[in-house]
């Protein structure tokens, strides 16, 4: 089977063995925004045409390729949803010489009833689970970071945080960036930003401190980006860990079967992704009293393989 995680700005394609093992992979900048209207069949052929010519007849697509701006819209599937639900809701796409299916995105609501949506992250989440019936809290760092609650192997709910996009906008398009050099790193300045996020005043007040600390020589230009990143990720992690525990509800079992209230449990967060953000989020989670463990870097491929096994292709 061919599996493609096709997003807005990039696409990752995998050729999978019958047991789900990755036989070959390729990644490029051919995201959906680069595909002209009506050009998705040609784009897919350009991406994996040699694999199709070599005998592959099944293609499973996930991500923004299934959005209104993509090849064909795959309607959102409401949470809770697991592997069987995702496989049962795939959308067929006409394509000569192969059976092509789109994995639907997921929808949910936050505690206030505001809608949440994801496309593509759902395959990473199901691929990151160690067991099909696992309970987990999973974080997917990115421009729009996702925090996902999994209960009994099904995605029960999630929240989205525009932290990465906000960081880029603040750094490149506001007065805060005028005194910044370098990139964000998980060092002392980042930790100081995380610590500041726990203090009173709120995020908007804390942000202006990035400038004033620099004006008074208490924050070097090369440390300002790290401090700003720590502020933003610190606020995100605090909100997500508090919300995740509250939404999970009730007490949990600790060693020996004793019941422990969620506030007393060190939250375990599985990080799924790659690149510099993984270190930043891991550090912030630890500073906020949690424990971060890295997930499978090929979670998307594994998730697509697991979904593909459950699809009625005929």
Q: CB count, 10 Å around CB of 179?
A: 15
Write the CATH number for 68: 3.30.420.300
Q: Give the containing element (helix H, strand E) for 102.
A: strand 99-102
302 in the same domain as 275: no
Q: Which pLDDT tens digit goes with each residue over 104-147?
A: 999 999 989 999 999 999 999 999 998 889 999 999 999 999 99
Domain count, the chain: 2
pLDDT at residue 246, as a whole number: 36
Per-residue tokens: 263: 């506030």
Look at residue 153 and tell me if it is in a domain: no
In the predicted model, is pLDDT for residue 211 greater than 90?
Answer: yes
CB atoms within 10 A of CB 221: 12
- The string over 191-217, giving b where at least 16 C-beta atoms fall within 10 Å of a residue's C-beta and e elsewhere, is bbbbebbeeeeeeeebbebbbebbeee
Provide the residue range defining the domain that includes 126.
2-132+298-310
pTM of the model: 0.90
Judgement on whether residues 96 and 6 belong to the same structural domain of the protein: yes
Q: At residue 245, does pLDDT exceed 80?
A: no
Nearest to 48 by CA among 120, 105, 94, 97: 97
Residue 151 belongs to a domain: no
31-69 per-position pLDDT tens digit: 999 999 999 999 999 999 999 999 999 999 999 999 999
d(CA 20, CA 132): 15
* CA angle in degrees (0–180, nearest 5) for 54-58-64: 115
Model pLDDT, residue 251:
30
Whether residue 287 is found in the same domain as residue 176: yes
Whether residues 172 and 289 fall in one domain: yes
Q: Report whether 71 contacts 59 (CB < 8 A).
A: no
Mean pLDDT of the chain: 92
pLDDT at 243 exceeding the cut of 80: no
Q: Is the pLDDT of residue 260 over 70?
A: no
- % of the chain beyond a pLDDT of 90: 86
At residue 266 the predicted structure's pLDDT band, cuts being 50, 70 and 90, is confident
Question: Given this model, what pLDDT does residue 249 score?
Answer: 32
Tell the residue number behind the tokens 């499973």, with chain if given: 60
At 265, the pLDDT band (50, 70, 90 cuts) reads low
φ, ψ for residue 262, nearest 5 deg: -55, -35
Could you say which DSSP state residue 262 is in?
A: G
| Same domain assignment for residues 20 and 107 | yes
Residues 22 and 39 in one domain: yes
Question: How far is the C-alpha of 64 from the C-alpha of 186, rounded, in Å?
Answer: 31
The Cα–Cα gap between 92 and 18 comes to: 21
Residue 72: closest CA among 61, 83, 88: 61
Asked if residue 154 belongs to a domain, the reply is no
Spacing of C-alpha 148 from chain mean position: 9
């Amino acid at each position: 089977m061919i599996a493609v995680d096709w997003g807005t700005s990039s696409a990752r394609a995998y050729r999978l063995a019958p047991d789900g093992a990755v036989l070959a992979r390729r990644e490029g900048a051919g995201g959906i925004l680069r595909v002209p209207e009506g050009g998705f069949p040609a784009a897919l052929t350009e991406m994996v045409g040699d694999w199709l010519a070599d005998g592959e007849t099944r293609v499973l697509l996930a991500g923004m390729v299934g959005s209104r701006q993509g090849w064909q819209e795959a309607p959102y599937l409401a949470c809770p949803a697991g592997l069987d639900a995702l496989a049962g809701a795939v959308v067929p796409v006409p394509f000569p010489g192969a059976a092509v299916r789109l994995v639907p995105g997921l929808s949910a609501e936050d505690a206030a009833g505001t809608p949440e949506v994801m496309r593509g992250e759902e395959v990473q989440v199901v691929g990151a689970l160690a067991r099909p019936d696992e309970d987990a809290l999973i974080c997917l760092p990115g421009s729009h970071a996702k925090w996902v609650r999994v209960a009994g192997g099904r995605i029960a709910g999630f929240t989205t945080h525009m932290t990465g996009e906000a960081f880029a906008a603040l750094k490149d398009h506001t007065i805060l960036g005028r005194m910044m050099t370098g990139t964000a790193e998980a060092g002392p300045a980042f930790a100081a930003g995380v610590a500041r996020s726990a203090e009173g005043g709120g995020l908007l007040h804390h942000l202006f401190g990035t400038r004033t600390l620099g004006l008074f020589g208490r924050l070097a230009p090369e440390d300002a980006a790290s401090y700003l990143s720590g502020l933003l990720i610190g606020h995100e992690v605090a909100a997500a860990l508090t919300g995740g525990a509250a939404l999970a509800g009730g007490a949990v079992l600790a060693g020996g079967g004793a019941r422990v209230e969620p506030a007393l449990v060190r939250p375990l967060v599985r990080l799924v992704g790659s690149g510099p953000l993984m270190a930043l989020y891991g550090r912030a989670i630890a500073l906020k009293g949690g424990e971060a463990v890295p997930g499978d870097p090929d979670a998307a491929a594994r998730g697509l393989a697991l979904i593909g096994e459950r699809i009625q292709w005929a």
